[in-house]
Amino acid sequence: MTTTLTPKQRETILRAATSAPSKYNTQPWWFRWDEDDLEVHIDRTRSLPHSDPTGREAHIACGAAAFSARLGYGAFDIGTTVERLPEQVDPLFAARVRVVSDAPDPRFALLHPYLPRRRTNRAPFRDTPIPPQVVDELRAAARAEETRLHIVTWEPFYERLLTLIREATGLEEDELRDERAAWVDAPGAEHRHEGIAAESLGPLPEQPTGSVRDLAVGRDIPGRDHAAFEQQPTIAVLATCTDTRYDWLAAGQALQYILVTATRRGVAASFANQPLEDSDLRFEASRFAGPSDYAHYGSAQMILRLGLCRTEVPPTARRPLTDVLGPPPM
Ligand SMILES: Cc1cc2nc3c(=O)[nH]c(=O)nc-3n(C[C@H](O)[C@H](O)[C@H](O)COP(=O)(O)O)c2cc1C
């Protein structure tokens, strides 16, 4: 295809891509234009050897960036498809967002304006349940990207999953917490346009709850408030059939589809992925990915806490677009 995107369109698409979530806001990606197609590459210099040794979560972030880019193209009525791992010889080439002649999914243009409002929200949610039709919409978003969003409601599974999350927090090793401290409320983070600032950590729960992950656990952050959280948080597991790099990217695409759809419907999300950072606990958590008739969705990729938004939270920083057009300096 010949190049037709204007510089302004390219900027919009790239800004959409970089708005994607990533673990500790590491933004483990770089991008390259190939005519009108956008290549998404994994930036190995931003890896997390302790908490993400296989790069699974970096793939999820890149999948989310690819999906976000599609929303950007969709805003200009440009149809796209995502080729995951397009070149076998280059395992860090995560995805190519390829322009196609077909019209885009009309939902993409509707969702695009919600990208800047999507945030990981670690504040308390409303106690009112999420309307069932919205839950159905979130499930449909997961299905559209070949994954499954399982809302864990039935006892004893609900309480068991919360217990597993609490146990995983208790088992975190010092190396893992040290690695996280380099990204969460790290000195000078505001100048680095990455990582998570203290103001995004959310308040500490008045009562212990498994569902709200404290990314500063074990550290004293001056001025941090306490708050009462929702009584019965909605917990969901995003799962894939198998557990390959291809699936991790699909999980990222689905995650972003779910999160932006949720934002549009006034539903906020945070994550409690601590059990997924340890292979044994991840195996355990995968048992919550669905009832036995869905056993083929056996690989848990994300654990989400969902609820009607009560408090808007500040955005996290992103690197300037000039910094993400690669390849990055080694
Ligand atoms: C693969 C992945 C794993 C994540 N795990 C957690 C987590 O366990 N706890 C948490 O609070 N946030 C988690 N996050 C959210 C990131 O911290 C968040 O996306 C990042 O700080 C950028 O902020 P934003 O989502 O508000 O744009 C995760 C995000 C991704 C993509």
Among 120, 258, 305, which residue has the most ligand 1 atoms within 8 Å of its CB, making it the best to mutate? 120
d(CA 252, CA 22): 9
Convert the pLDDT of each residue in 28-37 to its tens digit.
999 999 999 9
Q: With 80 as the cut, is the pLDDT of residue 228 above it?
A: yes
Does the CB atom of residue 61 touch ligand 1 within 6 A? Answer: yes
Convert the pLDDT of each residue in 118-139 to its tens digit.
999 999 999 999 999 999 999 9
d(CA 53, CA 39): 23
At 17, is the pLDDT very low, low, confident or very high (cuts 50, 70, 90)? very high
Q: Whose CA is nearest to atom 17 of ligand 1?
A: 24
Does the CB atom of residue 215 touch ligand 1 within 6 A? Answer: yes
Question: How remote is the CA of residue 155 from the centroid of ligand 1, in Å?
Answer: 27
Question: How remote is the CA of residue 107 from the centroid of ligand 1, in Å?
Answer: 24
Q: With 80 as the cut, is the pLDDT of residue 210 above it?
A: no
Question: How remote is the CA of residue 50 from the centroid of ligand 1, in Å?
Answer: 16
Q: Which domains does the chain have, with CATH numbers?
A: 7-117 (3.40.109.10), 132-308 (3.40.109.10)
Q: With 80 as the cut, is the pLDDT of residue 42 above it?
A: yes
Strands 79-84 and 29-34: unpaired
Computed over every residue of the chain, the mean pLDDT equals 93
Question: Relative to the CA of 61, which ligand 1 atom is closest?
Answer: 31
Does the CB atom of residue 120 touch ligand 1 within 6 A? Answer: yes
Convert the pLDDT of each residue in 262-282 to its tens digit.
999 999 999 999 999 998 999
Q: Whose CA is nearest to atom 10 of ligand 1?
A: 271
Question: How remote is the CA of residue 5 from the centroid of ligand 1, in Å?
Answer: 31
Quick one: pLDDT at residue 200? 94
Q: With 80 as the cut, is the pLDDT of residue 191 above it?
A: no
Average pLDDT over residues 60-79: 98
Question: Relative to the CA of 301, which ligand 1 atom is closest?
Answer: 1
Q: With 70 as the cut, is the pLDDT of residue 255 above it?
A: yes
At 251, is the pLDDT very low, low, confident or very high (cuts 50, 70, 90)? very high
Question: How remote is the CA of residue 105 from the centroid of ligand 1, in Å?
Answer: 27
**Three-state secondary structure call for residue 324:** helix
Average pLDDT over residues 165-177: 92
d(CA 289, CA 246): 18
Quick one: pLDDT at residue 289? 77
Q: With 70 as the cut, is the pLDDT of residue 110 above it?
A: yes
Q: With 80 as the cut, is the pLDDT of residue 234 above it?
A: yes
At 292, is the pLDDT very low, low, confident or very high (cuts 50, 70, 90)? low
Question: Relative to the CA of 313, which ligand 1 atom is closest?
Answer: 26
CB-CB contact of 243 with 295 (8 Å): no
Q: With 80 as the cut, is the pLDDT of residue 293 above it?
A: no
Quick one: pLDDT at residue 327? 80
Average pLDDT over residues 106-114: 98
Alpha helix (H) residue ranges in the chain: 7-18, 56-75, 106-111, 132-144, 157-170, 174-181, 189-192, 245-264, 279-286, 321-324
CA nearest neighbour of 44 among 29, 64, 56:
29
d(CA 324, CA 14): 9
Does the CB atom of residue 60 touch ligand 1 within 6 A? Answer: yes
Does the CB atom of residue 304 touch ligand 1 within 6 A? Answer: no
Question: How remote is the CA of residue 196 from the centroid of ligand 1, in Å?
Answer: 9
Quick one: pLDDT at residue 205? 92
Quick one: pLDDT at residue 189? 66
